Amino acid sequence: MSTLKIYNTLARDKQVFLPIVPGQVRLYVCGMTVYDFCHLGHARVMVVFDLVQRWLRASGYAVTYVRNITDIDDKIIARAIENGESINALTARFIAAMEEDSAALGVQPPDHQPRATEYVPQMLDLIRQLVGKGLAYQDGDGDVNYSVRDFPGYGKLSGKSIDDLRAGERVDVNPGKRDPLDFVLWKASKDSEPDEVKWDSAWGRGRPGWHIECSAMSGELLGDHFDIHGGGQDLQFPHHENEIAQSEGAHGHGFVNYWMHNGFVRVDNEKMSKSLGNFFTIRDVLKKYDAEVVRFFILRAHYRSPLNYADVHLDDARQALTRLYMALKETPAAADTVLDRNESHAQRFFAAMNDDFNTPVALAVLFELANEVNRGKSPALAMQLRALAGILGLLERQPDEFLKGRLASAEGVQSGCSDAEIEARIESRASAKKARNFAEADRIRQELTDCGIVLEDKPGGLTEWRRA
């Protein structure tokens, strides 16, 4: 099998993956801040890193996968006050909704899903270490801040100097800080904030800053040096940059070996945002599209590329996934799916996945395999198709179950396939077969399949058809 290579944001290059402990992988991913329903950007993070952990396990690694929950944050506090409900009630409600959305998308639960509020003692311990090393200080407002100019490596993940970063839009200009780039580790409590977000500390009552949460949770569950840290591209700076400064500053050695960042979700070629009015929750999308279609749509793009959401792309994903299920419907796989790792399609699939999780190429291999299943009616190849797709979290239902749901949620897909048109296409296919133009015959068959038409060739050259 080929060697796994991962694009490491820190190195700005694709690198051979070498775990710290042979045969074991420790993976941390920044999860959701739970004050609202998850959106498509969250869906991409969930699916992408579910894919990563699935592939690592399929490659024989023992994986410890941690994806945190931020359940204390300025936005959470503001939303709870706005709603007139407790923070615990708000976060419990949206954690339950997040888990429903995640399960619908075929995302396997992480091994650990820590909540920030459960790790405040670890955060305070980390802050104490940073203060003791002169990397943090308390300002006149009572906040404890990290001193970025006292950490020599600051900016290495984003690739910018401190002076460049100071010109950025995200710089906090709090006059109590020594430097505008200094970020808060511990926020002094305000009288207006609920008591449930206040903890005692050596620096007075308060609550943790966002960045310290992930350093503390990852360190507690994976150790202060682990293999892979992932998240959305928007977290590269300042969140992940600040995690590096905190963790390496406190422990005096490397923090993470490989940093992975998935690309943005765009809507009709514009970045998805509430301000533009092009913001979609997972639940909005699942009202119209099957969850497996959404998962397929996400995997169809390379994880580092922008993902452009539009109905036409989801419609195309639905038709493409239907093609795969139709192959399994017409040639059922064996009940016990066993993967033949030496088979040629599997080898090309493995090579694609080991090339920085190249799902577009891996899916292309599945479609090649589906075409061979359609031509040869081979149960062994059908089994191979199901097994390889299963690694990606696809084709795990019975074909009839998907096809029934697909047609129920996609009314009108068959509207362009009238009986007369179907008969005409079948005649064209018969002519192509008679002329031994099998590529054209296969193309017509696929065209009909995309319309939800099932063909059955009978002896004597007759072809019967029905709507799936």
DSSP 459: G
What is the Cα–Cα distance from 198 to 419, expressed in whole angstroms?
68
Q: Categorise residue 460: left if φ over 0, alpha if ψ from -120 to 50, beta otherwise.
A: left
| Residue 244 near residue 256, CB atoms below 8 Å | yes
Name which of 164, 118, 169, 172 is nearest 146 in CA terms: 172
Digits of tens for pLDDT over the chain (468 positions)?
Answer: 579 999 999 999 999 999 999 999 999 999 999 999 999 999 999 999 999 999 999 999 999 999 999 999 999 999 999 999 999 999 999 999 999 999 999 999 999 999 999 999 999 999 999 999 999 999 999 999 999 999 999 999 999 888 877 665 454 567 779 999 999 999 999 888 888 889 999 999 999 999 999 999 999 999 999 999 999 999 999 999 999 999 999 999 999 999 999 999 998 777 777 667 677 899 999 999 999 999 999 999 999 999 999 899 999 999 999 999 999 998 887 767 789 999 999 999 999 999 999 999 999 999 999 999 999 999 999 999 999 999 999 999 999 999 886 655 544 444 446 666 687 778 778 877 877 777 778 878 887 887 778 888 877 778 888 876
pLDDT at 168: 54
pLDDT at 456: 83
pLDDT at 173: 60
What is the Cα–Cα distance from 7 to 16, expressed in whole angstroms?
9
| Residue 259 near residue 214, CB atoms below 8 Å | no
Name which of 107, 55, 27, 62 is nearest 351 in CA terms: 55
What is the Cα–Cα distance from 432 to 430, expressed in whole angstroms?
5
Return the structure tokens found at 249: 């500053």
Which residues on adjacent β-strands are paired with residue 184?
A: 145
Residues found in the chain: 468
DSSP 148: G
pLDDT at 422: 81
Q: Is 304 helix (H, G, I), strand (E, B) or coil?
A: coil
